[in-house]
Amino acid sequence: MKHRNLAFNFFVQTWLAITIAYNGASFGDEYKKKISSHLCKNEYKYKITQPMLDLCKEQAYNFGYAINGFNRGITECQSLFTNQRWNCSTFDVDSEFTLFNTVMSRGSKEAAVQMAMASAGMIEGITASLRRKKKPTTKDESGCNTQLAQQNPGEYYSECDADLTIGNRFANLVIKTWQPQTNQEEVQMNEHNSYVGKMAVQLNMQKVCRCAGISGNCVTKCCYQTLKPLKVSAQWLQAQYSKAQKVVRSQRVRRDGRYLLVNEKDGKEPANTDLIYILDSPDYCNHDINKNSLGTTGRLCNNTSLDTNGCEYMCCGRGYVTEELNVDDFCKCKFNWCCDVTCDRCKKTVTRHICK
Ligand SMILES: *[C@@H]1O[C@H](CO)[C@@H](O)[C@H](O)[C@H]1NC(C)=O
Ligand SMILES: *[C@@H]1O[C@H](CO)[C@@H](O)[C@H](O)[C@H]1NC(C)=O
Ligand SMILES: *[C@@H]1O[C@H](CO)[C@@H](O)[C@H](O)[C@H]1NC(C)=O
């Protein structure tokens, strides 16, 4: 299973490298056809529905960046939740809820944050790729319009704010074409949380200003909105996770004919920055496929920490085993004038604690 993911990621990376090298804009039709037939082919075995396959064929360029951004979103999620019982991983089995080789969690608060981070990754990935492509002649390399700078001394805004529209639309399409339409509330939940992912990227953009114009005394500044690293949006989403709202179906109907999902407690409509969920979470202590829980057996823990990574909490009271490992390490490092460092290799013993 690990193997398959590696091969898959390698393929996507290679594809992206080629795409970036050719700068997307200059693709001939023949080349586009080649990319899409490789990328969209079922031989890569990410579970793909027919509508998704069509989407891939129509827009291979965005699709490739969506896969890559999705994977980066999941990686952020796993690094932010590494000290929790739920570590943003789910069963690596043949589930209908697999998106780009990742088995997604379902219905819970954890599913909400996972979807939002994946979606933020897709939006960010596509948006960044479009910015790299955009190189009109009146702009300098930062995107500042040199003509505008001459017309408007002072602070002006370039037209090259990061624009999330296309990335957001595409991420929505991916999720719409992927989702099994079995449970309407779950479908709505995923779409809502995907939108929260967009809000995460949008609210965490930053205004950048640089001196513009010819005088060099910074009388004229050019400002634009740019993306912050995905980690920033992911951290914001992690904070939203801790106050996610449980929702239920109300009697009220939305304009699109679906039932409105409202907060279970006060009947209010959640804001578009609130993560929402429909199912209570398990405690993630035990291995239980039906609850989407991997269990914490085999997880590393810290024997003295009182936090969520402490063995007491992480192992759910089952106890832990302590292991000593000999690992290769660098030691007796010497600094040689000038400038290099030489080290010996030696064995080091590390102690690990692992949940029973
Ligand atoms: C998450 O935890 C499971 C065991 O519960 C483990 O198999 C998996 O490797 C962990 N994933 C990450 C990304 O740490
Ligand atoms: C925790 O583990 C360390 C080794 O990592 C050991 O030296 C220490 O005695 C342990 N403490 C407790 C309370 O078990
Ligand atoms: C374990 O937790 C303690 C207390 O939080 C901390 O001081 C220590 O650095 C941690 N050990 C490791 C190996 O992370």
- Summarised one tens digit per residue, pLDDT across range 131-155 is 766 555 455 555 566 666 556 656 6
pLDDT confidence tier of residue 193, bands split at 50, 70 and 90: very high
b/e for 194-230, b at 16 or more Cβ within 10 A?
bbbbbbbbbebbeeeeeebbeeeeeebbbbbbbbeeb
Q: Is it the case that residue 310 has pLDDT exceeding 70?
A: yes
Ligand nearest to the CA of 351: 2
Beta strands in 194-310 (DSSP E): 206-212, 220-226, 245-253, 259-263, 276-277, 300-301
- pLDDT value at position 109? 95
Distance between CA atoms of residues 129 and 122, nearest Å: 11
How many Å lie between the centroid of ligand 3 and the Cα of residue 305? Answer: 6
Nearest C-alpha neighbor of 44 from the set 7, 14, 94: 7
Distance between CA atoms of residues 204 and 150, nearest Å: 30
Distance between CA atoms of residues 130 and 69, nearest Å: 13
Ligand nearest to the CA of 312: 2
How many Å lie between the centroid of ligand 3 and the Cα of residue 302? Answer: 6
Residue 97, C-beta contacts closer than 8 angstroms, at least 6 positions apart: 103, 104, 106, 180
How many Å lie between the centroid of ligand 2 and the Cα of residue 46? Answer: 43
Distance between CA atoms of residues 142 and 131, nearest Å: 10
6, 203, 299, 308, 312 from 323: Cα distances, Å: 29, 44, 13, 20, 17
Q: Is it the case that residue 197 has pLDDT exceeding 60?
A: yes
More confident residue, 270 or 31: 270
* 8-state DSSP, 294: -
User: Quick one: average pLDDT of 121-130?
Assistant: 91
Phi, psi of 297, deg, nearest 5: -60, 130
Does 303 contact ligand 2 (Cβ within 6 A)?
A: yes
Q: Whose CA is closest to atom 7 on ligand 3?
A: 305
* Range in 182-196, 207-221, 244-258, 272-286 with the lowest mean pLDDT: 207-221
| Nearest atom of ligand 1 to the alpha carbon of 296 | 5
64, 87, 272 from 32: Cα distances, Å: 12, 38, 36
Ligand nearest to the CA of 302: 3
Q: Whose CA is closest to atom 2 on ligand 2?
A: 303
Ligand nearest to the CA of 309: 3
- pLDDT value at position 23? 47
How many Å lie between the centroid of ligand 2 and the Cα of residue 232? Answer: 34
Percentages of the chain per state (helix, strand, coil), in multiples of 5: 40, 20, 35
- pLDDT, mean over the chain: 83
Q: Whose CA is closest to atom 9 on ligand 1?
A: 89
Dig out the tokens for 100 from the structure: 């780009």
User: Quick one: average pLDDT of 179-202?
Assistant: 92
Q: Whose CA is closest to atom 2 on ligand 3?
A: 305
Residues 86/309, Cβ–Cβ less than 8 Å: no
How many Å lie between the centroid of ligand 3 and the Cα of residue 111? Answer: 29
Task: Give bridge partners of residue 323 from the DSSP assignment.
Answer: 352
Q: Whose CA is closest to atom 3 on ligand 3?
A: 305
How many Å lie between the centroid of ligand 2 and the Cα of residue 302? Answer: 9
- pLDDT value at position 346? 87
Q: Is it the case that residue 160 has pLDDT exceeding 80?
A: no
- pLDDT value at position 139? 58
- Whether this model's pTM surpasses 0.75: yes
- pLDDT value at position 33? 66
User: Quick one: average pLDDT of 40-63?
Assistant: 76
Nearest C-alpha neighbor of 208 from the set 125, 123, 131, 135: 131
Helix (H, G, I), strand (E, B) or coil at 135: coil
The rounded percent of the chain whose pLDDT value lies above 70 is 77
More confident residue, 96 or 16: 96
